[in-house]
Amino acid sequence: MLIQLDMESKDPLYTQLRNQIVEGIASNRLKPGDALPSVRSLAQDIGINLHTVNKAYKQLEHEGFLVIQRQKGALIHPDGVPQADDFYWMELSKALRPMIAEAKCRGIDEHQLTTLCQEIYQSFNKKGDSSS
Amino acid sequence: MLIQLDMESKDPLYTQLRNQIVEGIASNRLKPGDALPSVRSLAQDIGINLHTVNKAYKQLEHEGFLVIQRQKGALIHPDGVPQADDFYWMELSKALRPMIAEAKCRGIDEHQLTTLCQEIYQSFNKKGDSSS
Amino acid sequence: MLIQLDMESKDPLYTQLRNQIVEGIASNRLKPGDALPSVRSLAQDIGINLHTVNKAYKQLEHEGFLVIQRQKGALIHPDGVPQADDFYWMELSKALRPMIAEAKCRGIDEHQLTTLCQEIYQSFNKKGDSSS
Amino acid sequence: MLIQLDMESKDPLYTQLRNQIVEGIASNRLKPGDALPSVRSLAQDIGINLHTVNKAYKQLEHEGFLVIQRQKGALIHPDGVPQADDFYWMELSKALRPMIAEAKCRGIDEHQLTTLCQEIYQSFNKKGDSSS
DNA sequence: GTGGTCTAGACCACC
DNA sequence: GTGGTCTAGACCACA
């Protein structure tokens, strides 16, 4: 699984890493029970500090994507990710709102918006098809 | 136009303010050429620092939502907001990606996602119909 | 509020600090809305690293005891602490079980145990009476 | 005697094992003089490392719950567990304090707390009645 | 001033 | 080997 961080981004490194792992799960390249690299080895691979990797892993653990075990390292949660609940739907709406508002301001119509969302959604399906 | 800031949010105040003004434009409560309150009066109204309001205005100006004139203060850009270009579409995709990935992980299907986006999009239409 | 850490304890420093703040809230020495020292000043006062203090604060924030604001620092949660829910009761039982098992092994009877718990519980009431 | 370890727990395996043996003694399923499985066989039964079982046994021996003899293996201490002394009472109080503080913060009153402790205490009585 | 992020390097517990 | 904790010191964003 390839990780690509943008040192110039305004998103913190640990958030970018967290997002890429989530995308890996969404696209089925990372499956329940799969082992992730150790914080040390991943940190070295992508050239960042191990604490930064650790912070991403801890957040993913807290969100229910991972389990971290004392010396087996981190695994994609074997039971899968917790399903969307009311709280998550609310948070998702809150996050989407300003982005959709701006898109509307910039002349993107409803159909263009849903098409974009569908394309992104389906891009995760495609990747899953081809991998093991 | 009612501004409601959450002092406990992780989002900085100026970002919250910026977003609410964008939503105001999206919902047509703020129209091209409309005057915004002065930095000073808005800061006092919502009880935050003057610099914070100024930072939000500056960002909106830089993004093309506002024009700021020495005499008249801030106006919603009379020519409307710059339409989406390739760069904006790319940025929008990049911002949407991790959210949609997480939604997919949490079992939200494509139809639920597009429905949510449509509801949010349309919520801006509705507001525009009834308010001034 | 006096903080006393035991460098020899097997509990990590940030846990000891977290516990003492919780005890401060239980005993009403810390009240909803009260400000806590900044991570830097507290770290200096008790002679530990600011990251260690920060970790304790972050945990307390996550547990709902504190709110941390960008530059106002940390406050005892103004709405009070989230009340015990089923999950919390379960966790409390799980934590208490081995301790009570050992106490029983060592010949402490039910009455002695409940008396001890009451004494501890009431010790938090007493402190609250005398402070401002 | 059934041992159930949670590989995802934050508590180390040897601590979980130690606690379950203590609970076995508290509930009278394990009686003074009873033989415990050998380190080797128990490790195999529950599928963990031999050193881990050994560490739990060693700790229990040090705490006075077990005697370990070269030939016979591990036995529940024939004279029973050392009774609570001042030091133990102090340690127990220190361990209970932060839990009770948090319970109080979360709105659990004194009666609810003592009831919970009694229920846990009595749960060890019940098991002892019916099992071997 | 505040907390947030990132780095670097140390030691320890677990298995 | 693994992650957990702690330290020290840097720079940045926020208000």
- Per CATH, domain C13-76 is 1.10.10.10: yes
Residue A38 three-state SS: coil
Maximum distance among all Cα pairs of chain D, rounded to whole angstroms: 53
Indicate whether C22 pLDDT > 50.
yes
The mean pLDDT of A66-78, rounded to a whole number, is: 93
Asked whether the beta carbons of C83 and D106 are under 8 A apart, the reply is yes
The mean pLDDT of C9-36, rounded to a whole number, is: 97
Convert the pLDDT of each residue in B35-49 to its tens digit. Answer: 999 999 999 999 999
The pLDDT, as a whole number, for residue C129 is 52
Asked whether the beta carbons of C82 and D106 are under 8 A apart, the reply is yes
The mean pLDDT of A16-20, rounded to a whole number, is: 98
Indicate whether D6 pLDDT > 60.
yes
Indicate whether A127 pLDDT > 70.
no
Indicate whether C125 pLDDT > 50.
yes
Among candidate residues A65, D105, D89, the one with its CA nearest the CA of residue C92: D105
The pLDDT, as a whole number, for residue A131 is 45
Convert the pLDDT of each residue in D73-97 to its tens digit. Answer: 899 999 989 999 999 999 999 999 9
Mean pLDDT taken over chain C: 94
Strand F contacted by A40 CB (< 7 A): yes
- Counting as contact any 3 or more CB pairs under 8 A, the partners of B are A, C
For residue A35, the 8-state DSSP code is B
The pLDDT, as a whole number, for residue A128 is 52
User: For residue B24, what are its two tokens?
Assistant: 């105001």
Please give the residue that has the higher pLDDT: either B82 or D128: B82
A35 in B contact zone (CB under 8 Å): no
* D72 backbone dihedrals φ, ψ, rounded to 5°: -80, -10
Do B8 and C67 lie within an 8 Å CB cutoff? yes
d(CA D21, CA C101): 10
Please give the residue that has the higher pLDDT: either B116 or B73: B116
d(CA B50, CA C59): 33
The pLDDT, as a whole number, for residue C28 is 95
The mean pLDDT of A45-68, rounded to a whole number, is: 97
Identify all chain C residues contacting B8, using CB atoms and an 8 Å cutoff.
Answer: 67, 69
D51 in C contact zone (CB under 8 Å): no
Confidence of residue C128 (pLDDT cuts 50, 70, 90): low
The pLDDT, as a whole number, for residue D127 is 57
Distance B51 CA to F3 C1' (A): 44
First CA to last CA distance, chain D: 10
For residue D28, the 8-state DSSP code is T
* A9 backbone dihedrals φ, ψ, rounded to 5°: -60, 150
Cβ burial of C82 (10 Å; 0-12, 13-18, 19+) is middle
D12 in A contact zone (CB under 8 Å): yes
Indicate whether B13 pLDDT > 50.
yes
Q: Which residue of A has its CA nearest to D12?
A: A70
Q: Which residues of D81-97 are buried (b: 16+ CB within 10 A; e: fewer)?
A: beebeeebeeebeeebb
Among candidate residues B84, B83, B105, B104, the one with its CA nearest the CA of residue A118: B104
Asked whether the beta carbons of C53 and C39 are under 8 A apart, the reply is yes
Radius of gyration, CA atoms only, chain C: 17
Q: Which residue of C has its CA nearest to D10?
A: C95
The pLDDT, as a whole number, for residue B1 is 77
Of A117-131, C46-60, D18-32, the range with the lowest mean pLDDT is: A117-131
d(CA B74, CA B77): 9
Domains of chain D, residue spans: 13-76, 86-130
Distance C114 CA to E6 C1' (A): 49
Q: How many CB atoms lie within 10 A of CB B71?
A: 4
Strand F-contacting residues in C 30-69, CB cut-off 7 angstroms? 48-49, 51-52, 55
User: For residue A48, what are its two tokens?
Assistant: 């960042």
The pLDDT, as a whole number, for residue D131 is 45
What are the distances in angstroms from CA B102 to CA A3, B126, D54? Answer: 17, 29, 43
Among candidate residues D11, D14, D60, the one with its CA nearest the CA of residue D36: D60
For chain D, give the percent of residues with pLDDT over 70: 95
